[in-house]
Amino acid sequence: MNRRAILLPTLILVGALSGDPCEAAEQAPLLTNAPEVTASQAPPQIPASPAPSGNRYDVLSKMITPMAGVLLGGTQTTDRALTLRATVGQVAGRLPQTIKGASFKAMIQYPGRIRIEAPVLGETLTICRNGNQVWASPGSKIQFLLSQFQHKPTPKPKNSTPLQLPFTAQQAVLLPALFQLEQTSEVADIGGVPCRVVAGGLMPEIAKASNAEDFTAKLWICSDYTPKRIDIRRNDFAMSFLIEELTYAPSFPASTWQPPQHVQDIYRCDASDLDQLLYVMMNSLQMSAGDKPWLNEAGPSAPLPTGLQGLQGLPNSSLPGPMN
């Protein structure tokens, strides 16, 4: 499963609602409600706001709406940019424990701009799309990874959406209706912040059509309707993400999408190759050259224990690459 799915499931779960299997773990532990890796947070100066109440579908819809403006150009909001900082909390199953604790940052702006920074091979790797052009730094490192991975996605033309999603801005507002959410009003704290727990899955016919009957997820949504934690799961892997920041803005400075002037080691390509760069980045997340992550592209997979818990709700199409 390619670790492009480390990033993209988060972006899509967080943003849409933002392959080949990896080598399997011998025994996968359960994910718990208290992640071993916790997001750093300053001590609260005022009492935390209460968790969202009311209909669970409304809570999910209010989380999705501002993201549609950024990921799809929706008219529900004037904000066209977002910043996401997240950390991989727990991993289980076929995912290597190496990625546990890895942090990444994504800046996304409609139309056609995305910048991602993540730890790869001992330093921060940056991949940036600016319209029809893509650059990455250090360029020599991305070239090395591209030469090692043999099952990269096929280049595809890109449109104005920063990431390829299987629905339009108009359809995004209807997404909650595609889910079968658990009937619960559970509230739980994440880092001292009260969150509404929303769990469920795709409607059975949709899950079957998208080959995602085994995919489950669980979201902890705080008072401003942003997620603080996301758990995702399939039969042979599970992982949790801690969302340290998810903020919106009308736009970012133009310099955001340009490489630093002092950096010379730059790899450049067309936007159609973006998926390949994201693929090798996320499949090498927090690994060293000695780990040889490209050898995990087509390893065996094994089922997780039946007790592993999570929420259902992410189509298989949103898990590109080995980390599918």
Strand partners, 124: 119
- pLDDT at 233 (0 to 100): 84
Q: Is the pLDDT of residue 215 over 60?
A: yes
**Contact by Cβ (8 Å): 256, 82:** no
Cα 283 from chain centre: 13
Domain of 13 in residue numbering reads as 4-35+49-318
Residue 160's pLDDT band (cuts 50, 70, 90): confident
306: in domain: yes
Q: Which two tokens stand for residue 100?
A: 């546990």
Mean pLDDT of 140-162: 90
pLDDT at 36: 46
| 263 inside domain | yes
Q: Report yes or no on 41 lying in a domain.
A: no
First CA to last CA distance, the chain: 5
Lowest mean pLDDT among 90-99, 238-247, 264-273, 295-304: 295-304
For residue 45, the model assigns a pLDDT of: 54
- How far, CA to CA in Å, does 144 sit from each of 26, 59, 245, 286, 303? 30, 44, 31, 16, 32
CA-closest candidate to residue 258, choices 128, 111, 109, 110: 128
pLDDT in tens, 38-51: 444 555 556 679 99
Q: How many domains does the chain have?
A: 1
Considering the entire predicted model, what is its pTM? 0.77
pLDDT, position 206 = 75
More confident site: 121 or 317: 121
Residues forming a β-bridge with 300: none
- Return the H-helix or E-strand segment holding 145: helix 139-148
Domain presence at residue 44: no
Between 241-245, 260-264, 288-292, 297-301, the lowest mean confidence (pLDDT) is in 297-301
- Identify the three-state secondary structure at position 265: coil
Element (H or E) spanning 16, and its range?
helix 4-16
Q: What is the structure's pLDDT at 274?
A: 94
Report d(CA 214, CA 207) in Å as an integer: 8
Domain membership flag for residue 42: no
| 177 is a domain residue | yes
Give me the DSSP letters along 248-261: EES---GGGGS--T
Q: Is residue 256 part of a domain?
A: yes
Q: Mean pLDDT, the chain, as a whole number?
A: 78
Q: pLDDT tens digits for 90-121? A: 998 878 888 899 999 999 999 999 999 999 99
The pair of three-digit structure tokens given for residue 281, joined into one six-digit string: 């980045």
Identify the CATH number of the domain in which residue 248 sits: 2.50.20.10
Distance CA 222, CA 220 (A): 7
In a domain, 200, yes or no: yes
Give mean pLDDT, residues 187-205: 89
The pLDDT, as a whole number, for residue 27 is 36
